[in-house]
Chain A
Amino acid sequence: MAMISLKKQPMPQQEPKVRATNFAEVPLGYTLEMAVHEATRCLQCQDPQCEKGCPVSVPVRDFIGLLAQGRLEESIRTMKAVNRLPAICGRVCPQEEQCEARCVLNRSGRQPVAIGRLERFIADWEREHGWVAADPPERRPERVAVIGAGPAGLTCAGDLAAMGYQVTVFEALHAPGGVLTYGIPEFRLPKDIVYADVARLEAMGVEFRYNVVVGRTVTVDALLDELGYDAVFIGTGAGLPKFLGIPGENLAGVYSANEFLTRINLMRAYRFPEYDTPVKVGKRVAVIGAGNTAMDAVRTALRSGAERAMIVYRRTEAEMTARAEEYEHALEEGVEFYWLTNPVKVLGNSEGWVKGLECVRMELGEPDESGRRRPVPVPGSEFVLPCDTVILALGTTPNPILINATPGLETNRRGCVVADEETGATSRPGVFAGGDVVTGAATVILAMGAGQRAARAIHRYLDEKRQAAAAD
């Protein structure tokens, strides 16, 4: 066996100083040579542990094995049989906790195979070299309505279309992608990649209808009873932002991360006045929270002209939920981190604009129910962090518009739709759900997995219905 290098083939990327001032993607992608070289690091294990770490069981060993042999089309087919959106997952999956965490190379003191980067490589290669054709499916008569064009909805729609169903995706906004479009910034996930995947679904016959807010424009019941759909998939995500409830939260210059990111990503406010939607980014920006959303907001602020971009988090680095890569990138780009710091009040000037954030220092006390040590305030440690923009990245919950307009749809205490984990079946027959709307804010790949399982369950449901009708 050839010597396996200790480290992953490094990813070419933009220099921190340069990239902190532009919106282009940070990692530049492998060349074919780099990819093949990295693929040969894989041991082609008998019992690939990596696949057990992947929530949708991507055939990691096989797609990498084919890539190592230069058989790219086969590699892509193998991947796409399981994962419809590899260009996206390769970029945004928390690989270090999933597939790569389980790779056996970790055990021998080496770095794992760069599974995510290879996934990204083959997907980009396909997009640049023309789509690898799939066999056209047998047409089926039933129509399925998919609500929400985020990763859960897109996956479900694609899988159903591949089975021959007629699928319509209803999306509230004017563009597809969900968080992939309005939340995750261009420099991590170029929007053209999302739109290319959507164009691919359109080519498969999936119909997209934008500006339809289900629960307002139409209801789930109307889709089933009046508009001729035989089943419905709800993939509306968890888009409702939380606020802190501290004084000063409604001052001008205070944004939810969703608003800030939507202005910039979906509406392209960083190119105002060429694009019409404005955004206000001050010289000093404080972002509250330390998840993926907070990292995206703080790095976006830096790229939009902030001289100082700061993360304020009441716990420590160890409890932070952001992906490792995003945290490293943020550090390299000069983001400042205020750990164990809790905001208590937003301070405003006489015109109602933010001028600072009053904070209190915290220390770790006894563990709470989640097992994490609970942060408690240090008396008398209040201080003011001067800033002119405050962004709240405190997490999100499912949007209640659709839920409130759908009688009999069971939800739990946290406002999430209750759905069977294996099938996505809800309390309403013919209505399935998956992704963040069921789990609360989670990850792209989990949402895709749920969309995929629901597509299979919808197929079984419609098959049974068809057979029952035929038997009558």
Chain B
Amino acid sequence: MYRILKKRQLTPVTALYVIDAPLVARTARPGQFVILRVDEGGERIPVTITDFDPEAGTVTIVVQQVGKTTHWLAQHGEGDTLADFAGPLGTPVALPDRGRVALVGGGFGAAAILTIAKELAKRPEVTVDAIVGARTASLLILSDEVGAVVDRFLPCTDDGSRGYHGLVTGLLEQEIAAVGYDLVMAIGPMPMMRAVAEVTRPHGIPTYASMDPIMLDGTGMCGACRVRVGGQNRFACVDGPFFDAHQVDFDEVTRRNKMYRHEERLALERWHQHQGSCATVG
């Protein structure tokens, strides 16, 4: 059992959880993730390690509600426990010792770039810009935490309520022209990462994206997470989740991720119904 020590609501649909998981905290590295199960009967879902503290034995995650499992998790608060929390999984991402890096985040990715930003902040010859996007200012998550460890924190909003008015790719394009980057790393929704790859490709800027295919075990045993990179099958849970974004077959992952669309919808509807009926009874 893994206890939730702290919970902070970041937006109406996103929350941060600090989990008591000493073994995971001990060996976690930037770019790695965990697989958790809320309770018996639940699905195993992958979630990025947003922060970790080996001394305190804690791991921080930020989870956005999209379907049944993430809604179920959202009902858990401080003092509650999760049945399973396996990690750290994946290959820690290789980070440079010098140069200018852009970390591009959208959705939960705006928080998930934190471990990488923190690690890069320790490297004196690296300059880091965080380019993070959200629909509107109130949905920008962990901006203080990320802002504190990067050289420039560059928010983007669809409605212009904070920072750049437009998508992260628009600002990225602009900053490439203005300052230039040696490396771009993107975490967020698949269409965003794909768009980032298309922006950097003509400039020949090395670009890494954190792939989120559907996963099951997270240990290399099932192959559900296979992603085609440069024509080769790679397991995102073992070899990734970061891959060369210019080599990833985004069409294929996107299609494969829709495999259970029907079941996902069914599960969420059932969940809402169940919640509704419980509310009337209670």
Given A211-B85, A276-B68, verify A268-B41 contact (CB < 8 Å): yes
Known: A250-B252, A273-B267, A276-B267. A217 touches B41 (CB 8 A): no
Residues of A within 8 A of B222 (CB): 241, 256, 258-259, 262
Closest Cβ of chain A to B242, distance in Å, is 16
* Most B Cβ at <10 Å: residue of A211, A216, A217, A252: A216
B253-282 near A? 1/0 per residue, CB < 8 Å: 001101110011011001000000000000
CB distance from B65 to the nearest CB of A (A): 15
Partner of B24, one of A182, A217, A243, A251: A217
Nearest CB to that of A256 among chain B residues? B223
Chain B residue with the shortest CB-CB distance to A272: B263
Bound together, the chains give a CA A455 to CA B66 distance in angstroms of: 48
Tell me if B220 counts as interface (CB < 8 A to partner A).
yes
- Of all chain A residues, the one with the shortest Cβ separation from B224 is A259
A216 touches B88 (CB 8 A): yes
Report if A263 contacts B (CB, 8 A): yes
Within 8 A of B (CB), among A192-242: 210-213, 216-219, 239-241
Cα–Cα distance between A403 and B101 once the two chains are bound (Å): 33
Q: How far is the CB of B97 from chain A (nearest CB, A)?
A: 24
Contact A241 B270 (CB under 8 A): no
A351 at interface (Cβ–Cβ under 8 A)? yes
Chain B neighbourhood of A258, CB < 8 A: 221-223
- Are B41 and A276 within 8 A (Cβ)? yes
How long is the Cα–Cα vector from A252 to B213 in the complex, in angstroms? 12
Q: A250-B252, A259-B223 are in contact. Are A218 and B27 (CB under 8 A)?
A: yes
Number of interface residues of B (CB under 8 A): 42
By beta carbon, the residue of chain A nearest B227 is A250
Contacts of A250 in B (CB 8 A): 226, 228, 233, 252, 256
CA of A212 to CA of B26 in the docked complex: distance in angstroms? Answer: 12
**Is A274 interfacial (CB-CB < 8 Å)?**
yes
Contacts A213-B86, A241-B223 given: A276-B42 contact, CB under 8 Å?
yes
What's the least CB distance linking B90 to chain A, in Å?
Answer: 8
Given contacts A243-B233, A252-B256, A217 and B88 within 8 Å (CB-CB):
yes
A385 at the interface (CB under 8 A from B): no
Looking at the complex, which one of A252, A278, A400 makes contact with B258 (CB distance below 8 Å)? A252
Contact of A401 among B216, B238, B255 (CB under 8 A): B238
- A352 close to chain B: CB less than 8 A: yes
Q: Which residue of A lies closest to B223 (CB)?
A: A256
Q: How would you classify the secondary structure of chain B's contact residues: helix, strand, loop or mixed?
A: mixed
B43 located at the interface, meaning its Cβ lies under 8 Å from any Cβ of chain A in the complex: yes
Cα separation A400 to B238 with both chains bound (whole Å): 10
Q: Please, what's the 1-or-0 string for B47-62, where 1 marks a CB less than 8 Å from any CB in chain A?
A: 0000000000000000
With A267-B44, A273-B263: A252-B255 Cβ-Cβ less than 8 Å: yes
Q: Name the contact of B221 in the complex, choosing from A240, A274, A275, A351 (C-beta under 8 A).
A: A240
B255 touching A172, Cβ below 8 Å: no
Per-residue CB contact flags for chain A residues 266-291 toward chain B (1 = under 8 Å, else 0) read 01100011111110100000000000
Q: How far is the CA of A275 from the CA of B223 in the complex (A)?
A: 21
Which one of A240, A275, A352, A399 contacts B256 once the chains associate, using CB atoms below 8 Å? A352
Residues of A within 8 A of B44 (CB): 174, 267, 277
Encoded as 1 (CB less than 8 Å from any A CB) or 0, chain B from 229 to 253 comes to: 0000100001000000000000010
Complexed CA–CA distance, A243 and B69 (Å): 30
Q: Once the chains are docked, how many angstroms separate the CA of A448 from the CA of B262?
A: 42
Ordered by A's residue number, 19 sampled pairs between the chains whose C-beta atoms are within 8 Å are A173-B86, A212-B23, A217-B27, A217-B88, A219-B27, A241-B222, A250-B226, A252-B255, A252-B256, A252-B258, A262-B221, A263-B216, A273-B270, A277-B216, A278-B264, A280-B259, A280-B260, A399-B220, A401-B220
- List 9 additional contacts besides A216-B27, A259-B216; criterion CB under 8 Å: A173-B219, A219-B27, A240-B220, A243-B226, A250-B228, A253-B259, A258-B222, A259-B223, A280-B260
